[in-house]
Structure 1
Amino acid sequence: MKRKISLITTGGTIASKETKNGMLSSGALSGNELASLCKLPEHIEIEIVDFSQVPSMFIDFESMLKLRNTIKKELEDPTVSGVVVTHGTDSLEETAYFLDLSINDQRPIVVTGSQRSPQEVGTDVYSNLRNSIYAAADELLENVGAIVVFNERIYSAKYVKKVHASNLQGFESFGYGYLGIIDNDVVSIYQKPLHREFYDIQKAIPRVDIIKCHTGADGLYLDASIKAGAKGIVLEGVGRGQVTPHMMPSIKAAIDNDIALVMTTSAEEGKVYPAYDYVGSAFDLKQRGVILGSDYDSKKARIKLAVLLASGDKVRDHHFIY
């Protein structure tokens, strides 16, 4: 059966070239150049869209919004079976989750990249791209939302995380595992998300900051965030969702300024939960109006909070249950 896939390239290591000084120029290859290097499936028609040629840390909310609009335009074509986005790995997990929350379509949206450049020995460019195309073309992945394909594994956008700076097994989903694998061009799925969310972005995406808690932390960065005009702040606390008592005056000031605050944990697994009763505990923070961010990591919570604020929804605790 003939399938049509839109391949949207944004840059990153997967599209890099070596420079004269031996470093990598991220995003140097065009979409056509990248596709020509790979042995792509003959029974799948590939339509290439050159979106950008940048390192992934050049990606911001404005870029993500434009990428979302580009994908939506491609999906207006009913003959398109799915979309593959090539992306630098450093911010790949954030873009993938943004797309997951902001595109309401049952067809697969696959985000992939590589840890090594196309010219390096043992590069993962070709296998990641080929596997992503097979995943995007497979009906098993319909109505799953945005996913990440990396090193033959399929991950949910919500829980995937870059866990190694350079190793080919660069991504993982702690505590939840992967959804399935691609082995010899065959897609196998073992689990699927029970819930899908979609938020229709109606206005400009506001500034949302992440502030990490550590021993002795005070309100310095909270105060700076308030002054900078943030509409949302994600607190990365410790354990069940605790911060130092020195941060509490600035947390109160943020709440008084109608800034949405979400508490997350720096722990790799487990949820924020009101287990203790003292100043700066999750229970104390919830009583003051801070939203408890369940098992979201701080980056994903920031993406979701920004999308919620841009959709016009009043941010509530139930938004961070799933």
Structure 2
Amino acid sequence: MAVTVISTGGTIASTDSSDGGGAAPELTAATLVGAVPGLEETVDIETHDFSNVPSPHFTIEQMYELVELIRELDDDPDVDGLVVTQGTDILEESAYFVDLCYDGTTPVAFTGAMRNPSLASPDGPANLLASVQTVRSEAAADAGVVVVFNDRVHAARDVTKTNSMNVDTFRSPEFGPLAVRDEDRVTWRRSTEGEEPTFDPDPDRLTNDVFAVTATADMPEAAVSSAADSAALCLAATGAGHIPPTIIPALESLRDRAVPIVATTRCPEGRLARDTYGFRGSEATLRELDCYYSERNLQKTRIKTIVALAADRLPDAFDSP
């Protein structure tokens, strides 16, 4: 059973520079695989060096190119599983982008590391091993794109980075992981609920010109009005869908300019209310603003908005309360 490891850079591929300037991505996919004791002796591994960049440098264009590569490898009958290694800063966004655009049958797992190979106890080799074991497990074919980290298997749509430095950073708030790894076994405990549509975005229409704003106390109108000429605004409201009145005029202006507004909650768990409150700035105001409703966190909401706009399917991507 062959597994292809695709390296994109990030901490897992980083080493300290000789001039003492800090760690930077340098290692190839073959080097990463070679650092996992015994892996190539038990599994047929192929490697592909997609890029070697820090995670925050990864672009929307590269995310789509990664989708194209994964689709190409899915068509190869000799490939039975795919593992993408990436930096953790935007890993959840890349994994979700692929999940939204990929409907192949070859299991795909994203993984990375919080400790680069120059540090004591680097976690990259263990995460890579767990990812290979996950895509080889039978249930992986029906799980969608997953993120494997610290012996847990998460749905790309649910997972988020929760700690800036701890190795146990990736969590799925509210619903938890799909599976766990014990020794050489992957034990699946739940499946993803609710089908998300798969999109086929026009690459020429993909844009990073989608604003993402988090509502905070008494925030200035300029935080929203700067999105007046953007492709869309994604807004993380407080609580169950509440915003300070200071930004309502700017949001009304966006609505009048036909700039789509996609709302979510800034809370790590829960969803937006529909009709609990009626004060100005409540979810009633979001309805008046013709907001779309998202069930994902702000960063994933932005990714889904980008993909849906490029596929001309924004109404299919989100609810309209």
Residue 10 of structure 1: which of 5, 8, 11 is its match? Answer: 8
**2: CA distance between counterparts of 1:163 and 1:59?**
20
Which residue identity lines up with residue 52 of structure 1 in the other structure?
S
Larger displacement relative to structure 2 (272-281 or 93-102): 272-281
Deviation of 1:231 after TM superposition, in Å, equals: 1.1
Is the CA contact 1:131–1:182 (under 8 Å) kept in the aligned structure 2? yes
Deviation of 1:288 after TM superposition, in Å, equals: 2.5
Indicate the residue corresponding to 1:270 in structure 2.
270
Indicate the residue corresponding to 1:54 in structure 2.
53
Deviation of 1:195 after TM superposition, in Å, equals: 2.9
**2: CA distance between counterparts of 1:303 and 1:242?**
22
Larger displacement relative to structure 2 (126-135 or 268-277): 268-277
Deviation of 1:170 after TM superposition, in Å, equals: 1.1
Give the TM-score, by structure 1 length. Answer: 0.94
**2: CA distance between counterparts of 1:311 and 1:135?**
31
Residue 225 of structure 1: which of 219, 224, 227 is its match? Answer: 227
**1: CA distance between counterparts of 2:60 and 2:133?**
28
Is the CA contact 1:107–1:145 (under 8 Å) kept in the aligned structure 2? no
Q: Map 1:300-315 onto structure 2 (within 5 A).
A: 300-315=300-315
Is the CA contact 1:12–1:89 (under 8 Å) kept in the aligned structure 2? yes
Indicate the residue corresponding to 2:287 in structure 1.
286
Gaps of 5+ in 2: none
State whether structure 2 residue 298 is matched by structure 1 residue 298.
yes
Per-residue CA distance 1:171-217 (angstroms, 9 max, x = gap):
11111100011111111100011333311112421321111111111
Look up the SS of the partner of 2:223 in the other structure.
helix
Indicate the residue corresponding to 1:184 in structure 2.
183
Cα 1:42–1:195 change in 2 (3 A) is farther
Deviation of 1:35 after TM superposition, in Å, equals: 1.5
Per-residue CA distance 1:126-164 (angstroms, 9 max, x = gap):
100011011111221112111000000000101101011
Which residue identity lines up with residue 283 of structure 2 in the other structure?
A
Deviation of 1:96 after TM superposition, in Å, equals: 0.6
Taking only the aligned residue pairs, the percentage that are identical comes to 30
Gaps of 5+ in 1: none
**Number of residue-to-residue matches in the alignment:** 315
Indicate the residue corresponding to 1:30 in structure 2.
28
Look up the SS of the partner of 2:239 in the other structure.
coil
Indicate the residue corresponding to 1:215 in structure 2.
217
**1: CA distance between counterparts of 2:98 and 2:21?**
31
Which residue identity lines up with residue 5 of structure 1 in the other structure?
V
Look up the SS of the partner of 1:159 in the other structure.
coil
**2: CA distance between counterparts of 1:204 and 1:6?**
30
**1: CA distance between counterparts of 2:162 and 2:89?**
10
Deviation of 1:21 after TM superposition, in Å, equals: 5.0
**2: CA distance between counterparts of 1:26 and 1:111?**
20
Cα 1:22–1:184 change in 2 (3 A) is farther
Which residue identity lines up with residue 280 of structure 1 in the other structure?
G
Give the TM-score, by structure 2 length. Answer: 0.94
Indicate the residue corresponding to 2:240 in structure 1.
240
Larger displacement relative to structure 2 (22-31 or 269-278): 22-31
Is the CA contact 1:305–1:315 (under 8 Å) kept in the aligned structure 2? no
Cα 1:159–1:314 change in 2 (3 A) is closer
Which residue identity lines up with residue 291 of structure 1 in the other structure?
Y
What root-mean-square deviation, in Å, do the aligned CA atoms of Structure 1 and Structure 2 show?
1.6
Look up the SS of the partner of 2:253 in the other structure.
helix
Is the CA contact 1:113–1:129 (under 8 Å) kept in the aligned structure 2? yes
Q: Stretches of 4+ moved more than 4 A in 1? A: none
**1: CA distance between counterparts of 2:239 and 2:8?**
36
